[in-house]
Structure 1
Amino acid sequence: MNNEPLASRMRPQNLDEIISQQHLVGPKGIIRRMVDSKRLTSMIFYGPPGIGKTSIAKAIAGSTQFKFRQLNAVTNTKKDMQMVVEEAKMSGQVILLLDEIHRLDKAKQDFLLPHLENGKIVLIGATTSNPYHAINPAIRSRAQIFELYALDENDIRIALERALSEKDRGLADYNVNIDDDALQYFSTQSQGDVRAALNALELAVLSTNPDENGEVHITLQDAEDCLQKGSFMSDKDGDMHYDVMSAFQKSIRGSDTDAALHYLARLIEAGDLPTIARRLLVISYEDIGLASPGAGQRTLAAIEAAERLGFPEARIPLSQAVIELCLSPKSNSGITAIDAALSDIRKGNAGQVPDHIKDGHYTGAKKLGRAIGYQYPHNSENGFIPQQYLPDKLKNRQYYHPKSTSKAEQQFKQIYDNISKQQKSL
């Protein structure tokens, strides 16, 4: 009896068996071209789990007939790597798949580097983390970096049907009859993770007794039992999570309500209320801002309600906040204004505070030969007296550039322009 999991047995044995990733292994893909020319270079594969990083590495080895070894950057030792190097010296070249390469420590890295340089070891690193952030530059500079994408439901379905029809490696001997809605469930709810889909299919087949005709019948209920709620990808510390947060904010900024609700649902499914709360509050001030000055307060009220309610009810005030923010007029004038002011400060453009607004109301400042002092705006009929507040070197600097996207900020603009005109006449 073969105890090797179905997902492992069904790994592609050459590039032609790989499902998806055609940008790399298709007729014009760079990996295909390297294999065809037998000129391999070290490379790093990154992307979500279960999308074929190990499979492509093994398919490369199967297509080139090079020796293939697989190690883990954390659990395998330097001694294990030395054995691979000795094998490479005898056979000429070894393809080494190194899982979790982003966790490779310095001692192991220093040992591998010269063998990567001389070409004895063709390193294929696999990671779910962004290599541009997570992998040491010394390794990164010696490898080509390739991003792999999650498989879509059609790709998953092809893999499942292949497993059902394969006799030697697959499940053909079990005489499986699977309902179409069950196959569809496996294809969609695995969220692009072909390993999860194959493992769930195998569990369904092995845990179902054949009927009197020797047929194993898999229903939708069987599929749901074996792939609980799907394998939703929500790594709170991984790059995918930050991609979703970025898409969430950009969808609201772009006023796409349906897209924003989609990404909100993904964050809710991940149970990440603190991230949702912080991001919504930022959006209300960064992207809606002065176009709807009350949006920040209403968003905060929705967040506080969500935090008191907890999931699943928290989804209600959160969705209302998202819809309002999407459909609100947008203005980033507040953030661009303070960032422009901070930029001046960080470049050393500060200057002296004018004497007449220093603490103590100094009256020694001179203008046109006359002594002038601080003039109290509340003594004016309209609550404004034109006088200089900025340092001399920044006297005419403008940080705030009002938008015209809402009536609220149009009113701010009218007042601002009127005051600025009087200030500049000084």
Structure 2
Amino acid sequence: MAREPLAYRMRPKNIDEIISQQHLVGDKGIIRRMVNTKQLSSMILYGPPGIGKTSIAKAIAGSTNYKFRQLNAVTNSKKDMQMIVDEAKMSGRVILLLDEIHRLDKAKQDFLLPHLEDGKIVLIGATTSNPYHAINPAIRSRAQIFELYPLNHEHIYQALERALEDSERGLKEYQPQVDSEALDYFATQSQGDVRSALNALELAVLSSEVKDDHRHITIDDAEDCLQRGAFLSDKDGDMHYDVMSAFQKSIRGSDVNAALHYLARLIEAGDLPTITRRLLVISYEDIGLASPSAGQRTLAAIESAERLGLPEARIPLSQAVIELSLSPKSNSGIKAVDAALSDIRNGQVGQIPNYLRDGHYTGAKQLGRAQGYKYPHDHQGGFVPQQYLPTKLKNRIYYEPKTTSKAEQQFKSVYDNLLSAQQNL
């Protein structure tokens, strides 16, 4: 008879066995308080794969002695849900873990809602997507939302040691001798995914040769069984957007080492389009007028990266990241256009002065001359003061220069002179 995977067998039986998520299950954690008082409410647990969403749900059931059932929002039908509701009517209360709750369709949702209201079903939804974006408000309003965090190296290491020492559910019966370097590798390369680490450890133990009644696991065995860690940067999940956000904010904050770290994570995810688009945005949004040519150089690096492809693309990309990180910063450009857009969207438009209107229709050109349009190229320096904004917005200021670089200081010097002349009209 086939045996369940190690990660399945080692799931906590109660909340005291949960290794991490102390903000929820620690002495003052809200889930522990719910369990201690047996005042459970429906909840949504979200976070990356392999961090304990299912384990917490099963531990809650084990700690309260309520019946526990598990369904998937996509693969299980409304009929499956009906069976659980019928069971709840007979037993009093059932904890229902619903995986992929963000993909729950309207028919199943409408069926579940009244049973959540009367408390017969305690719903624990599990999702890797941000519930504030991905889950229907009708479900969200009936559930507490709790974020779970990836396990750190110590948590994973503790889970591995527990599995090696457990004779009932773990691997102790095989008497494995696991080198500390191998355990470190499993704990590090699993990137916070305890399921991945445990299953890789089991594979290493079961596939190793028995010598002198022992199975010896080395770093080489660990590398064979977990060749590449469960890298946390999926292209569709929240972690992807977290990495992109951290990438841009590190460049904006001039932390070149952090920026290179997040660049490496995006490269490992193979996400060249995201990297190139984000770099071009950064060159104009965050560096902007402080280094006007940064956008051109970034575009050149992007074109080189796209022509080279990965892995060679990392070379021009890294140079662009280093330059952008260490460049002076100015967001005056984006602030200026956003201020102008805000006026437009709030109805602050006004009539275009007649002498600025296009001369393609009869009389407009003559009307403009009659009102004295001044052609700048006819004047010294190519500038002559005259009103360009609608009268309603005559003295509106959108561009506010920064002085973080010599380039924008020069812009500011010219701008201040022109602005002074315009405002004296």
Shorter-chain TM range is: over 0.9
Q: Contact 1:363–1:373 (CA<8 Å) still a contact in 2?
A: no
Q: CA deviation at 1:233?
A: 2.1
Q: How far apart are the structure 2 equivalents of 1:398 and 1:17?
A: 61
Aligned to 2:156: 156
Mapped partners of 2:421, 2:89: distance in 1: 81
- Counterpart residue identity of residue 44, structure 2: I
Residue of structure 1 in register with 2:301 after alignment: 302
Kindly indicate whether residue 413 of structure 2 is the aligned counterpart of residue 424 of structure 1: no
For 1:354, the aligned partner's letter is P
Aligned to 1:260: 259
Q: C-alpha displacement at 1:381, in angstroms?
A: 1.9
* Helix, strand or coil at the partner of 1:382: helix
User: Which secondary structure state, in structure 1, belongs to the residue aligned with residue 145 of structure 2?
Assistant: strand
Aligned partners of 2:286 and 2:67: how far apart in 1?
A: 54
8 Å contact 1:252–1:326 — kept in the other structure? yes
Contact 2:233 2:243 in 1 (8 A): no
What is the alpha-carbon distance in structure 2 between the residues aligned to residue 393 and residue 62 of structure 1?
A: 69
Shift of 1:364: 4.3
1:357 maps to what in 2?
Answer: 356
Map 1:274-423 onto structure 2 (within 5 A). Answer: 274-360=273-359, 362=365, 364=367, 372-423=371-422
Paired AA for residue 251 in structure 1? S
Q: Deviations over 1:166-186 (max 9, x none)?
A: 001000011111111111000
CA distance in 1, matches of 2:317, 2:21: 36
CA RMSD between the two structures: 1.1
2:124 aligns with 124
Q: How far does residue 363 in structure 1 lie from its aligned partner after superposition?
A: 5.4
Q: Partner letter of residue 338 of structure 1?
A: V
Once the two structures are superposed, residues 264-317 of structure 1 have per-residue CA deviations (whole angstroms, 9 ceiling, x without a partner) of 000000000000000000000000000000000000000000011111110010
User: In the TM superposition, what is the alpha-carbon distance from 1:348 to its structure 2 partner?
Assistant: 1.6
Tell me, yes or no, if the aligned pair for 1:252 and 1:260 is still in contact at 8 Å.
Answer: yes
Deviation at 1:380, TM superposition (A): 1.5
Instruction: Say whether the 8 Å CA contact 1:88–1:121 is kept in structure 2.
Output: yes
CA–CA distance in 2 between the matches of 1:346 and 1:229? 49
Paired residue for 1:107?
107
TM-superposed deviation, 1:372 = 3.8
5+ residue gaps, structure 2 = none
Inter-partner Cα distance in structure 1 for 2:338 and 2:8? 53
Q: What is the one-letter code of the residue matched to 1:143?
A: A
Q: Normalising by structure 2, what TM-score?
A: 0.97
Q: Distance between the aligned counterparts of 2:138 and 2:315, measured in 1?
A: 48
**Partner SS state of residue 95, structure 2:** strand
Structure 1 spans left out of the alignment, 5+ residues:
none
Equivalenced residues, count: 421
Moved more, 354-363 or 154-163: 354-363
**AA aligned opposite 1:76:** N
Q: Which residue of 2 aligns with 1:193?
A: 193
Q: Which moved more, 1:373-382 or 1:297-306?
A: 373-382
Counterpart-to-counterpart distance in 1, 2:204 and 2:308: 37
Deviation for aligned residue 1:394 = 0.8
1:30 corresponds to = 30
- Contact 2:287 2:330 (8 Å CA) reproduced: yes
Q: Which amino acid aligns with 1:164?
A: L
Task: State percent identity of aligned pairs.
Answer: 77
Q: Secondary structure at the match of 1:173?
A: helix
Structure 1 runs of 4+ aligned residues shifted over 3 Å read 361-366
Please say which of residues 352-361 and 152-161 is displaced more in the overlay.
Answer: 352-361
The alignment partner of 1:285 has SS state of helix
